[in-house]
Structure 1
């Protein structure tokens, strides 16, 4: 199953880079990870990022984009800054990131990004906080996300270099927000909000999705009302959790864009993310065998009621 010409279009803005894993380098970055899953699940994502095609990492990212069947028209080329790289330091199945500064995706050009997005106006714009650490990239993401007409989905992804003001300013740009439980605690502390309800009212959020790792997930609507929650999914052969949150977002957004009901979509996204934790890194080693069961499961989800968001 691949995206069709009339599949929903969504734009994903931010970092495309190479993760240097103990097992070797792989093309990654939250927007690229999510875009690959979305395409495999039947959507038509537009990745807006920036690389240096003359360096080894840039060539690897470009090959990954083309190899995944993604549209290349959102990629920008930069001859002055290196393609982004991240050293992924593993401790058992846990990990931490060492992210290089002043790389190509820090300098996403706003005019080029708007031109790419306006060529096929998206139903949804996905973005994070990390690619806004530099003023140039920040302007590009905020100009694209500020366009009217698209649902704005923030996968916060707090990383080194993202401080309280940047995170809170980014939160104010979003309609829907996904955070993990640690990020939620951090945002509540930074914002001074007493609880989820106060945070959602303060930032006028329509939905808040909280992933809790082995403890499952929860989703909240306006005024902090609990919409759905579910338990964690055991991973019999846990390899690592790199990219699990990106997989969750991708599956949830694919279901939403294809008109599926919210609670079953969340449950499927949770299982999809858990399945990825049995793989090394943020993408499956054998896409041809990994994706078909999830494509079938997504197609079998019930449709959301008419008029439901």
Structure 2
């Protein structure tokens, strides 16, 4: 198994009916741990606040080691107010100057796969730490995957370009792809060539997903999976990404991994927040992942 390093924010999502631990990197890391993939998570929380205790408790329940979670004596654990709209859509109000904005670069790591996002680079301190870590731990055994989250404060062409230059793969949605095509190149092949991307994962929500290799070549596609008991879509894309990373780490067939990830994302849409309350609910998904056929998963 190829070790995975996950870098970025851990925070709490505040819904109208209560708070749950969240943050795209934290969601990915908890899923990876529960799915049996080797993961190390690097983030930063307050020294002793309610949100930080919620983060640590959730990490423990999902079997995620917390030795990479730094403590900040001056700043509180991050918070996000989730404003839910009719129909299940949502808007995020991400509060400023959180502990994760001041992430310190971790010591040298032997990870072969690196996951990092754009949101955690909104502050110059965490931006420098994340970029230093990505440059240091990249290995031929696995890709560096950028999760492009174009939220207010990180929705600039400059930040996107700098992050893309560090990435081998990028995961994004249709709106984010539209921004990149408007900013940089008018076609997908040209965009991927410009940033030397080996893989691009496009998530389309209820419409499914597609995976593109070098020069924009379509490698895999899948239709959306219906969720009859829809609650919210928070964390669905993170679940999809976690399954993909776990499949890469375990050397599983890429097409089968993406199909399973698509179903996993639909399951996440049936729970409040980014993960089920009971980690035991992920046991069948772990078993299904490990039962997938093996394959060289590089595009």
TM-score band w.r.t. shorter chain: over 0.9
Q: Is the 8 A contact 1:179 1:209 kept in 2?
A: yes
SS for the counterpart of 1:283 is: coil
Q: 1:277 aligns with which of 258, 269, 275?
A: 269
Please say if 1:106 is aligned against 2:101.
Answer: yes
Q: Is the 8 A contact 2:144 2:167 kept in 1?
A: yes
Q: 2:122 aligns with which of 133, 140, 153?
A: 133
User: 1:194 is matched with which residue?
Assistant: 186
How far apart, CA to CA, are the structure 1 residues paired with 2:56 and 2:283? 25
Cα distance change on mapping 1:53 and 1:66 into 2, 3 Å: farther
SS for the counterpart of 1:278 is: coil
User: 2:162 is matched with which residue?
Assistant: 169
Alignment of 1:145-156 (within 5 A): 145-147=134-136, 148-149=138-139, 151-156=143-148
Alignment of 1:249-264 (within 5 A): 249-264=241-256
Q: Give CA-to-partner distance per residue, 1:59-99, whole Å, 9 cap, x none.
A: 21122222322111111110011110000010131101000
How far apart, CA to CA, are the structure 2 residues paired with 1:103 and 1:41? 29
Structure 2 unaligned runs (5+)? none
Please say if 1:96 is aligned against 2:91.
Answer: yes
How far apart, CA to CA, are the structure 2 residues paired with 1:46 and 1:292? 20
User: TM-score by structure 1 length?
Assistant: 0.92
How far apart, CA to CA, are the structure 2 residues paired with 1:237 and 1:26? 19
User: 1:267 is matched with which residue?
Assistant: 259
Cα distance change on mapping 1:46 and 1:72 into 2, 3 Å: same
Q: Give CA-to-partner distance per residue, 1:270-297, whole Å, 9 cap, x none.
A: 1110111011110112221x21221222
Please say if 1:233 is aligned against 2:225.
Answer: yes
User: TM-score by structure 2 length?
Assistant: 0.95
How far apart, CA to CA, are the structure 2 residues paired with 1:202 and 1:284? 39
Root-mean-square deviation (CA, aligned residues, Å) is: 1.4
Q: Give CA-to-partner distance per residue, 1:88-137, whole Å, 9 cap, x none.
A: 01013110100011110000012xx1x1xx2x511111000011011100
How far apart, CA to CA, are the structure 1 residues paired with 2:278 and 2:60? 16
Give the total of aligned pairs: 294
Give, in angstroms, the shift of residue 155 of structure 1. Answer: 0.9
Cα distance change on mapping 1:181 and 1:308 into 2, 3 Å: closer
Give, in angstroms, the shift of residue 308 of structure 1. Answer: 5.2
How far apart, CA to CA, are the structure 1 residues paired with 2:144 and 2:2? 15
Please say if 1:292 is aligned against 2:283.
Answer: yes
Moved over 4 A (4+): none
Structure 1 unaligned runs (5+)? 1-6
User: 1:212 is matched with which residue?
Assistant: 204
Please say if 1:158 is aligned against 2:153.
Answer: no
Please say if 1:142 is aligned against 2:131.
Answer: yes
